[in-house]
């Protein structure tokens, strides 16, 4: 649409626009999504076009109930059923065999589709009102920092989105955990907003797959992703400050302040990885709008959502500077 995107809480308007094959930004507990009719190839193509997302990177399909999966998923393994009952609605995505009703463009030609039930009242109400599921990757230009507020979507996609359903700030702040089954074994394809510990408490040990750099088997597996426009490096911040002395440096730290930095954003003064995850993408945006020459960051403890934070930081720093 040519006119500026509208923002609000009007589910009826969002429903009408989606039924007319427009794309709408939706809130979830993880990040905001750019949604379109998952069963309509034109709507799906619009998502790829607006995001400038390569067609080999598949999308996640969102629905409102486990029962609704039967329309577009061929089989739900026993472990998948256990996880769905334990964590849906929530930050869990399951990679399951698809039915032909799901266009190949959604899955990048693969025979499995990524599905989840988001835990946000506005989006659940919207999904329940629709006769089709929604394909919805993050509502940002491909490869850039994911949005966790309606304003982030407005700032990035502007008038390319017909409507932005404003559900407030995402309360988890990193994308969902994706699980598939490889040779019958549960495999975490992407670490995210549901911890490995929580998953293993339900189905036992799982394999955690390394990030793919091309031809991903599931959404969000590309090596370079979630990146700010200002170059970003991760490591020991004290050492990096010396390495880049003379440059205007912004620091994204876990819980420590660095007075030598031109700008410093602390993710969690209390050292809480869940709080750090909530602030991660917003912090990256703040520093990316500064006049810094480089952003320096550090990895957080690899427990709970710390794994997901470190995954996002690693990929945000994937390009050499």
Binding site feature residues: 30, 53, 62, 116, 136, 138, 146, 176, 190, 226
Annotated binding residues for L-threonine, as ranges?
30, 62, 116, 136, 176
Cis peptide, bond prior to residue 93, ω within 30 of zero: no
Evaluate whether 227 touches 316 at the Cβ level (below 8 Å). Answer: yes
Beta strands in 52-176 (DSSP E): 60-62, 92-97, 112-116, 134-135, 163-165
Annotated binding residues for ATP, as ranges?
53, 138, 146, 190, 226
CA dist., res. 267 & res. 235, Å (int) = 16
Assigned token pair, 193? 């907003």
Evaluate whether 134 touches 61 at the Cβ level (below 8 Å). Answer: yes
Strand order in the sheet with 263-266: 232-234, 294-297, 249-253, 263-266
Evaluate whether 110 touches 119 at the Cβ level (below 8 Å). Answer: no
* Phi then psi dihedrals of residue 33, to 5 deg: -110, 155
């Amino acid at each position: 649409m040519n006119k500026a995107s509208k923002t609000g809480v009007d589910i009826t308007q969002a429903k009408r626009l989606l039924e007319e094959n427009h794309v709408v930004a939706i809130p979830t507990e993880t990040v905001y999504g750019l949604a379109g009719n998952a069963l309509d190839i034109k709507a799906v193509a619009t998502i790829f076009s607006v995001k400038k997302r390569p067609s080999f990177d598949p999308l996640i399909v969102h629905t409102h109930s486990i029962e609704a999966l039967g329309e577009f998923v061929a089989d739900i393994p026993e472990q998948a059923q256990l996880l769905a009952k334990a964590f849906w609605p929530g930050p869990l995505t399951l990679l399951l065999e698809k039915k032909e009703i799901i266009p190949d463009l959604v899955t990048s030609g693969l025979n499995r589709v990524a599905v989840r039930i988001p835990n946000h009242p506005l989006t659940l109400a919207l999904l329940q009102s629709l006769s089709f599921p929604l394909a919805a990757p993050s509502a940002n230009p491909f490869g850039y920092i994911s949005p966790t507020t309606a304003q982030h979507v407005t700032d990035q996609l502007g008038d390319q989105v017909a409507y932005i359903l404003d559900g407030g700030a995402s309360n988890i702040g990193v994308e969902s955990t994706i699980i598939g089954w490889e040779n019958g074994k549960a495999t975490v394809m992407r670490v995210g907003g549901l911890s490995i510990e929580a998953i293993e408490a339900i189905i036992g040990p799982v394999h955690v797959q390394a990030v793919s750099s091309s031809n991903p088997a599931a959404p969000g597996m590309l090596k370079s992703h979630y990146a700010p426009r200002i170059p970003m490096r991760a490591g020991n911040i004290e050492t990096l400050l010396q390495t880049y002395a003379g440059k205007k440096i912004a620091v994204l730290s876990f819980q420590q302040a660095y007075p030598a930095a031109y700008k410093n954003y602390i993710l969690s003064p209390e050292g809480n990885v869940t709080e750090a995850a909530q602030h991660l993408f917003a912090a990256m945006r703040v520093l990316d709008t500064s006049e810094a020459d480089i952003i320096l960051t550090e990895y957080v403890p690899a427990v709970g959502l710390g794994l997901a934070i470190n995954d996002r930081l690693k990929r945000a720093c994937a390009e050499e500077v």
